[in-house]
């Protein structure tokens, strides 16, 4: 009997596919290699600059203050937004594209499952992997907490923002995967689309056009969380972004279902 949790069989199947796929571990290794390298660089820069200031050097006007929350926590979480541009397309590229290429999509659509059952099962499987990645990154603020006192509120804000970013990017990735039979094309479309959606706020910065660009661009909404600001408009933007592209993915699935 179909119900509100009828997507669970698809969710379980997709999670098992992720755990059995070597590509998943390659993508995760690449993410942790980059994030670890960035964290080490930022941490080392903070330690070195602190030592220089203690020895009599002064901070330049353009430098960030020697505060572990501002100089390490906010910076590493801001970089993670862009690292997710690489990770999420790699995780979501197979969601529908691989099914189409292998022919299993045609079998899937003949089951009693509806479009949203298939879609939500695939979406939550990718989202679950993304959230597991975020859980591991807790080691970075934990290391900082061993030697200093980063602000818990900012750390919490950063993680709220990253959860919403992963949810939004995953929805977009599932949508692009539903448009093509090629995993590579799906990954490229997802990365390029998310990158383009980051840019309006950088290209137009003043006047009415600047305000519109900032409202539509992903980056200003995502960046506010790294500064410890949990504002409803920014959260709503990312939630509605996810809902919109899940809806678009459902329409794409429906079109493919009729063609199948």
Reduced to 3 states, what is the DSSP secondary structure of residue 115?
Answer: helix
Q: Is residue 15 part of a domain?
A: yes
Asked if residue 256 lies in contact with residue 105, where contact means CB atoms within 8 angstroms, the answer is yes
Domain membership flag for residue 30? yes
In the chain, the number of structural domains is: 1
Specify the pLDDT at position 1: 42
**1 found inside a domain:** no
| Residue 175: domain span | 8-259
Length of the chain (residues): 260
Cα–Cα distance between 116 and 151 in angstroms, integer?
40
**Residue keyed to tokens 């200093």:** 148
Domain assignment of residue 3, yes or no: no
Q: How confident is the model at residue 40 (pLDDT cuts 50, 70, 90)?
A: very high
Specify if 209 maps to a domain. Answer: yes
Q: With respect to residue 250, please indicate whether it lies within any of the assigned structural domains.
A: yes
pLDDT at 258: 59
Burial of 142 (0-12, 13-18, 19+ CB in 10 A): exposed
Q: Look at residue 147 and tell me if it is in a domain.
A: yes
pTM, rounded to two decimals: 0.88
Residue 2 within a domain: no
pLDDT digits (tens, 9 = 90+) for 124-142: 999 999 999 999 999 999 9
Note the pLDDT tens digit of each residue in 105-115: 555 555 656 77
pLDDT of 51 over the 50 cut:
yes
């Amino acid at each position: 009997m179909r119900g509100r949790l009828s997507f669970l069989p698809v969710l379980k199947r997709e999670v098992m596919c992720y755990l059995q796929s070597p590509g998943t571990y390659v993508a995760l290794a690449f993410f942790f290699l980059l994030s670890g390298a960035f964290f080490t660089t930022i941490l080392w820069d903070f330690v070195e600059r602190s030592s220089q200031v203690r020895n009599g050097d002064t901070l330049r006007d353009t430098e960030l203050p020697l505060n572990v929350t501002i100089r390490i926590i906010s910076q590493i979480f801001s970089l993670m937004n862009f690292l997710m541009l690489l990770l999420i397309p790699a995780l979501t590229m197979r969601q529908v594209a691989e099914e189409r290429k292998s022919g299993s999509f045609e079998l899937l659509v003949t089951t009693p499952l509806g479009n949203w059952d298939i879609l939500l099962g695939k979406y939550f499987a990718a989202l679950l992997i993304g959230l597991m990645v975020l859980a591991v990154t807790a080691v970075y603020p934990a290391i900082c907490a061993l030697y200093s006192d980063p602000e818990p509120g900012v750390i919490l804000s950063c993680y709220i923002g990253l959860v919403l970013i992963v949810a939004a990017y995953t929805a977009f990735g599932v949508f692009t995967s539903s448009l093509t039979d090629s995993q590579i094309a799906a990954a490229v479309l997802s990365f390029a689309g998310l990158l383009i959606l980051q840019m309006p706020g950088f290209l137009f910065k003043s006047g009415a056009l600047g305000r519109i660009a900032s409202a539509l661009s992903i980056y200003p909404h995502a960046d506010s969380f790294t500064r410890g600001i949990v504002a409803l408009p920014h959260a709503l933007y990312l939630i509605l972004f996810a809902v919109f592209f899940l809806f678009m993915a459902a329409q794409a699935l429906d079109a493919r279902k009729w063609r199948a």
